[in-house]
A and B are shown apart, each in its own frame.
Chain A
């Protein structure tokens, strides 16, 4: 099963004047990523720039509105994510528990949908919405 671990750093600590992670923090996190790699479960890992540099695109009353950061109501902020492939939710939770979190940091563990998770009629609908399969050159 594929899971995404979303890192929500403690926003009390990471405020406007925050200057990014220390060398020690980075080294600690590097060790954790190395563990995931050595275990063969890590598919992807990315850290995100702060939301102040981001934007939000929202649809309201049929219109698309774009807001640039910083966002007033940002209580929880995704700081980065891991994509891992493990055998169960418990495995994903166990890996998340091993992450070197600072006080107040939180990781949200979410399972990634895979085609086989859908009932057959949904799979068939996905199939129909695609182009008809290409035929071999001779046909």
Chain B
């Protein structure tokens, strides 16, 4: 095998094995930073030896065994250092400490279960949101620091520092490497889901001309969501988030025109929605629903996305159901944007007057000032009610507020069309 080919093959193995490797090591050494160093040592060893010797039959086990040896070496070195510094002849005590550590490290255990505590650790509330994202991409996604920097639009040194600090913070706070207990689980799981969805949206918001690492984030978030769903099959919100991401990802090929301009949901060519991802999304949502209980925010958003996915044409959309779902969402996690979306759905389901009533209630909402969709939605409802000159003013206002050129053109066209 040529060296370059061998390295690409090793990279592939690394992408498959690294998270489990780091997770297994973190359980043993109780420090994700150290665990990653050990895993990296093993990777370096593999890059040195595999191109000559060939890839071993079970590369995951090889990497783990190598990393464990490194761990023991390091422990031994530390013990020796301590001995020299203190100049004490307490060989027995030191040896006892060492063999206990070696024993713990040599213990053979199933690695799959360790991914879950690794996810919770990477998304621990002691870390800032940005640090959680960086660490998750690094330790669970196996991304290099450089890739993370390109993906989240920061410089290489900034990304590197973010990761180093995050590891230090976890070590200093003595964050235990475990799945949180019952009373903590809800909040901690919410943090994991939030990080995954933030990563997904970071990729989803990428535009033409962006570095390819950015859209790749959506796929990575979706993959990690699927991993989490496999590890926590009894959690409806995990399936809810996976369903939401699958359905949104199904539209990636339809949501930009060949010229790279965004295409709004109702104008998308539905033949371009990825049927495999739609099917997976609907299945994930069905799983969330089958687990019982009232739907939580991600599952509700998945259910809304599913209404669009099931409609063969925009006219076939079940707006009544969407309005109901937005109503439920608005109660669980109220926000002006959710309320505006509910107004659109109500306007479609019950008529423009009902929608306008909800939109007008949002007129003084501070967080929506400067948000182009407020006047855009209001203009649409007014136009349907025949209040043409009011509608024109709203479209003009919306056009002035949007930063998207195609949307601005569309809104200006609608303003011009508002003449009797």
Which A residues are within 8 Å of any B CB, using their own CB?
37-44, 83, 85-88, 90-91, 93-95, 114-116, 120, 123-124, 127, 130-131, 133-139
Interface SS majority for chain B:
helix
Can you list the 9 inter-chain pairs with the closest CB atoms, starting with the nearest?
A90-B12, A40-B226, A40-B223, A40-B227, A123-B258, A91-B12, A94-B12, A115-B253, A124-B258
A44 to B219, CA, bound (A): 16
A90 to B253, CA, bound (A): 24
A127 to B383, CA, bound (A): 30
Please tell me if the beta carbons of A135 and B267 are within 8 angstroms of each other in the complex: yes
Which B residues are within 8 Å of any A CB, using their own CB?
8-9, 11-13, 15-16, 112, 216, 219, 222-227, 230-231, 253, 257-258, 263-264, 266-269, 271-272, 276-277, 280, 313-315, 348, 380, 383-384, 414, 417
Complex contacts, B226 vs chain A, CB 8 Å: 37, 40-42
A134 and B384 in contact (CB under 8 A), knowing A44-B276, A95-B16? no
Please tell me if the beta carbons of A91 and B223 are within 8 angstroms of each other in the complex: no
A86 to B231, CA, bound (A): 19
B231, B267, B315: the one within 8 Å of A133 (CB): B267
5 contacts between A and B (CB under 8 A): A40-B225, A94-B16, A133-B263, A133-B269, A137-B315
Complex contacts, B15 vs chain A, CB 8 Å: 86-87, 91
15 A-B pairs besides A133-B269, A135-B267 with CB distance below 8 A are: A37-B226, A40-B223, A40-B227, A40-B230, A41-B223, A43-B277, A88-B11, A93-B9, A94-B9, A115-B253, A127-B258, A130-B269, A130-B271, A130-B272, A137-B348
Q: Which residue of chain B lies nearest to A38 when distances are taken between CB atoms in the complex?
A: B230
Please tell me if the beta carbons of B8 and A134 are within 8 angstroms of each other in the complex: no
Please tell me if the beta carbons of B8 and A88 are within 8 angstroms of each other in the complex: yes
